[in-house]
Amino acid sequence: MAGTVLKTEAVPVRSDADVVMVRQRVRAWVNEMQFSLVDQTKIVTAASELARNTLEHGKGGKLDISMLQNGYRKGIQLVFSDDGPGIPDVRLALTDGYTTGSGMGLGLSGSKRLMNEFYIQTEVNRGTTVSCIRWK
């Protein structure tokens, strides 16, 4: 459930160095929003996993970071989008250990566990958008 968007920032995800930049920008946001250290670590780790997915499977894309306000609660929303090949079977892609790449198959399933809300919109040959929120 999204709330009012207070501010946003777009970060490109086109290279290895961009994945590092994603981690640093997300860290700056969650630090500013005063998430606990453990929550900060979870959010940055999820961002790193999803950014790598966008790069490797989506052939590059971007991240939109937003600060949300829902009633008295604040949250951070991360939206990773790409115009890549899409995910033919989302349920399979969300299975621990399932991988089409060289990784461990924890990117999607693991980052889902690290966030409070998690949505995937995907269309084969059109692209994928992964949107997730962690509330404070």
Contact between 91 and another protein per CB under 8 A: no
Which residue in 92, 96, 97 sits closest to 120, CA to CA?
A: 92
Residue partners of 31: CB distance under 8 A and separation at least 6: 40
Span from 3-11, 39-47, 61-69, 73-81 in contact with another protein (CB under 8 A): 39-47
95 binds another protein (CB under 8 A): no
Among 9, 32, 89, 96, binds another protein (CB under 8 A): 96
Does residue 61 bind another protein (CB under 8 A)?
no
Site stretch for another protein (CB under 8 A), options 38-46, 67-75, 78-86, 128-136? 38-46
Q: List contacts with another protein (CB under 8 A).
A: 16-17, 19-20, 23-24, 27, 37-38, 40-42, 44-45, 48-49, 52, 96, 103-104, 106-107, 109-111, 113-114
